[in-house]
Amino acid sequence: MANLKAKVQQSGRLKGKAASQTSIVAKTATVGTAMRLGDLTDVNTTGQADAVMLQYDASGGEYIVTTQIENIEIIGGTY
């Protein structure tokens, strides 16, 4: 895999470099309006409120908003 570097400037211009012989050409780069967490297809924000957290629900294949932690093991390390 080639070593790639890219930079998006505030002016909207995009610059890119490739360390190998492969060349990268960006024809157009557009940054639209800000996305929200709920815009992601695998995040269900139903029930969103203060002091809730996201938890992955494997049966539904998405992250859900919850106030309860289920099926978790917390390992605090060795002190």
pTM for the full model? 0.46
Which residues on adjacent β-strands are paired with residue 7? Answer: 15
DSSP 5-52: EEEE-TTS-EEEEESSS-----S-----SPP-GGGSTTEE-TT--TT-
Mean predicted confidence (pLDDT) in 42-63: 89
Quote the CA–CA distance of 72 and 79 in Å, as a whole number: 21
Mean predicted lDDT score pLDDT of the chain: 76
> Which pLDDT does position 78 carry in this prediction?
83
- The domain limits of the chain are 1-32, 35-69
- Name the residue with higher pLDDT: 32 or 78: 78
Q: What pLDDT, in 10s, does the model give residues 12-35?
A: 666 665 566 566 666 666 667 777
Contact 65, 54 (CB under 8 A): yes
Q: What is the pLDDT of residue 2?
A: 54
pLDDT attached to residue 34:
76
d(CA 16, CA 5): 6
